[in-house]
Amino acid sequence: MAAKRGTDWFWAVVVIVTVIGMTAWDSYSLVVDRRSEAVERLDALSRVVEARVGQTIRSLDFLLADAAAEFKPTYRPGDSDYNRFLTTRARFEPAALTITITTPDGTITHSTNASLVGKNVGARSYLDFFRANPSSDLLFVSEPVTSLLSRTVIFAARAKRDEKGHVQAIFVSALSPSLFSGIVEAALPSEASGAISVTNRDHTVLARAPSMDGAPIGRSLAKVPLRVAHLASGKQASIQEGVGGIDGKVRLIALRTIEPWGMVIGVSATRADILRPVLPRLIGNVAVALMVIAFAVALVRVRGSREKSRQLAQEQVLKARDYYMQVLDEMPTLVRRQDSNGQCQYVNATWTAFTGHPSTDALDQGWLEAVHPDDRAGLAKGGEHEYRLARNDGSYAWIHEVARPLRDQDGQPAGSLASGIDITESRQFQEKLQQSNAELEEFAYVASHDMREPLRMINSYMGLIERRMGTELSDEIKEFIAFARDGAQRMDRLIQDLLQYSRIGRMSAQRGMVDLNLCLDQAKNLLELAMAEQNATIVAGPLPTLFASADDMVRLFQNLIANAIKYRQPGVPPCIEIAAQRQTGAWCISVSDNGIGISREFYDRIFRIFQRLHGRDEHGGGSGIGLSICKKIVESHGGRIWVDSAGPNQGAVFSFTLPA
Ligand code: ADP
């Protein structure tokens, strides 16, 4: 079982690991796909911004290059022709707010805004740049600054040199910062956190979208790790991931340097925003994985607990089996179990001890060895038997055995269980009893038969005395003689009844199939006179035919009907009902009357011999032997007799059973 549980857990772990692996792989692919899609999009947007910013810068560069080409060092400051040229040229470049030419030290010599001529621009980064890079032929783009006209502007500047390479003049165009803002705003990524920044060569922010409070315009991003990494990559375009320089959130950023001016475009969105669309699927994946894991664990547990309870039940069954086997072994009866083919499968310890045969010898047909050869037939069929079984000392014992069919759990026949007891002693006792009963009955018969002779003598001599002495006898002596004769007659009747009683069974007609309807008719014929006298009626249902002694049955009905007439209620004609009812293995016959009834306390007593409930002269007298005869008849036929009564004057019902 432990091995089975181990296997269950092994497969559960395999399923769990597979599910986790698949979920992790799917989630990883989702994130990677989403990330690379975002990278492509950010990079494409950075390309667009690069193109548009580059175009603007290139166009300004042309403008300033044109202005430089047209410029002659001989022009006086504020030269009107040149100024006109500048003004006309500036019209073609809407990005340029002003075009101004300064000396290397910053004095304005020409400007589209004439009022500026002669003024010094002061400390400007482009002056510093050209001072530091005297040979640079590039357009310089400054940080946003406040112009002389008090506007926030960005300067684009390039220098003109003489043959010796000395800076002759610096050509500066002021640009509105909104120039870049317009470009970046149009290219914003779709994420809520999407942002684009444009910086100049010094990494100072020139434009940012979306615009923020405390705008980062003018802030330097030179030290932001993402930018440092971009520069370190040495590539013109790179993708970086990390904490952004402006809002401090983890961002995915496409950085692109606009060559040759060193401006940098950064198009970014936070990682959280980029991955947000795949979040529901990630959660779904995790939920499905957790469900599968929980299911796998629950399944293993349920299987485990089922297996446990199955094993427990099995143990209990085994324990119960052991217990009952022990009970069977300890039982003082001889127990034998047979399969449905009559083959012995088991004998208990009592059987082996009794016969001295080991239990293995008793299997199949082996147990029959111990049975007396004359008694073996039919034993394996089951049912009730009496047979002789050899004891371990070789003597035979009489066994009374009852075999009952067994059924398996599905209710199918599964052989039988026979249990037997040693009845040797009771059988011997019964035999002795039967013998002594027979002797006793013989004695009673002979005695009563012989006793009638002296009675007859008393009777006849009394009659002789009466006749001889005739008139000489006083009335008193006549009365005495009458008492003596009456006593002798009653004694004779008693002896006759006793004789009848002792004859039942011994002298009864041989048993055969007897129609009780005919027996009843005979009984009625015998009682015809009494019935007519008392105006009695008998209603009888159909009665069965069964195995019995015919004259016993007639006597049985005769006694019961005679009693029903005898114990009638004064002035009420007896009405007797006789009915038969089928029972398992027997018929139950009842004789009901409407007579004086019987109190419950006398139910047993009336069946005893010579027991009467009334005085000698009441209800026509009687010897108290009629119901004892009925009892003896019924019991000798293997039945039972009893009485029921609702009480005095409620009638009585005498019922008896006869096996059939
Ligand atoms: P006997 O009739 O000779 O007295 P029985 O053995 O026939 O003797 O009856 C015993 C007693 O049972 C009777 O004395 C009577 O009191 C009572 N007995 C018998 N049959 C009936 C009956 N049908 N109704 C009421 N009492 C009865």
Cβ of 266 closer than 6 Å to ligand 1, yes or no, is no
Name the nearest CA neighbour of 174 among 199, 210, 201, 148: 148
Do the Cβ atoms of 83 and 111 come closer than 8 Å? Answer: yes
Which residue, by CA, sits nearest to atom 7 of ligand 1?
626
Which residue, by CA, sits nearest to atom 19 of ligand 1?
563
Q: Determine the residue of 494, 557, 558, 606 to mutate for testing ligand 1's pocket, defined as the one with the most ligand atoms within 8 A of the Cβ atom.
A: 606
Which residue, by CA, sits nearest to atom 4 of ligand 1?
624
- Selected from 3.30.1370.60, 2.40.10.10, 3.30.499.10, 3.30.450.20, the CATH number assigned to the domain covering 333-418 reads 3.30.450.20
Cβ of 623 closer than 6 Å to ligand 1, yes or no, is yes
Which structure tokens are listed for 472? 């000489």
Q: Determine the residue of 497, 556, 567, 576 to mutate for testing ligand 1's pocket, defined as the one with the most ligand atoms within 8 A of the Cβ atom.
A: 567
All residue ranges of the chain with pLDDT < 70 are: 1-5, 213-215, 245, 380, 616
Which residue, by CA, sits nearest to atom 13 of ligand 1?
612
Which structure tokens are listed for 32? 């990677």
Which residue, by CA, sits nearest to atom 12 of ligand 1?
606
Q: Report the separation in Å between the CA atom of 575 and the middle of ligand 1, taken as the mean of its atom positions.
A: 16
**What is the pLDDT at residue 1?**
52
- Say yes or no: domain 71-175 is CATH 3.30.450.20: yes
Q: Report the separation in Å between the CA atom of 614 and the middle of ligand 1, taken as the mean of its atom positions.
A: 8
Please state the separation of Cα 228 from the chain's center in Å: 66
Q: Of ligand 1's atoms, which has the minimum distance to the CA of residue 628? A: 6
Burial class of 183 by CB neighbour count within 10 A (0 to 12, 13 to 18, 19+): buried
Cβ of 614 closer than 6 Å to ligand 1, yes or no, is yes
Q: Report the separation in Å between the CA atom of 563 and the middle of ligand 1, taken as the mean of its atom positions.
A: 6
Q: Determine the residue of 494, 500, 613, 623 to mutate for testing ligand 1's pocket, defined as the one with the most ligand atoms within 8 A of the Cβ atom.
A: 613
Cβ of 627 closer than 6 Å to ligand 1, yes or no, is yes
Which residue, by CA, sits nearest to atom 21 of ligand 1?
563
Alpha-carbon distance 429 to 424, whole Å?
A: 9
**What is the pLDDT at residue 162?**
84
Cβ of 629 closer than 6 Å to ligand 1, yes or no, is no
Q: Give tens-digit pLDDT for 554-565.
A: 999 999 999 999
Please state the separation of Cα 234 from the chain's center in Å: 70
Alpha-carbon distance 54 to 609, whole Å?
A: 143
Q: Report the separation in Å between the CA atom of 505 and the middle of ligand 1, taken as the mean of its atom positions.
A: 22
How many Cβ atoms are within 10 Å of 532's Cβ, its own excluded? 9
Cβ of 593 closer than 6 Å to ligand 1, yes or no, is yes
Cβ of 121 closer than 6 Å to ligand 1, yes or no, is no
Q: Report the separation in Å between the CA atom of 604 and the middle of ligand 1, taken as the mean of its atom positions.
A: 12
Q: Give tens-digit pLDDT for 601-623.
A: 999 999 998 888 877 677 777 77
The dihedral built from the CA positions of residue 216, 218, 222 and 223, taken in this order, carries a sign that is negative
Q: Report the separation in Å between the CA atom of 320 and the middle of ligand 1, taken as the mean of its atom positions.
A: 56
Which residue, by CA, sits nearest to atom 14 of ligand 1?
612
**What is the pLDDT at residue 213?**
62
Alpha-carbon distance 302 to 281, whole Å?
A: 31
Describe the strand order of the beta sheet including 334-338 as a list of residue ranges.
Answer: 344-347, 334-338, 413-422, 396-407, 383-390
pTM: 0.49
DSSP string, 186-216: HT--SSTT-EEEEE-TT-BEEEEES--TT--
Contacts of 495 (CB under 8 A, 6+ apart): 448, 451, 452, 455
Buried b (16+ CB within 10 A) or exposed e, 604-627: eebbeeeebeeeeeebeebbbbbb
Cβ of 524 closer than 6 Å to ligand 1, yes or no, is no
Cβ of 574 closer than 6 Å to ligand 1, yes or no, is no
Please state the separation of Cα 436 from the chain's center in Å: 69
Instruction: State how beta strands 641-645 and 652-659 pair.
Output: antiparallel
**What is the pLDDT at residue 22?**
92
Superfamily grouping for domain 512-659: Histidine kinase-like ATPase, C-terminal domain (3.30.565.10)
Cβ of 567 closer than 6 Å to ligand 1, yes or no, is yes
Q: Of ligand 1's atoms, which has the minimum distance to the CA of residue 622? A: 3
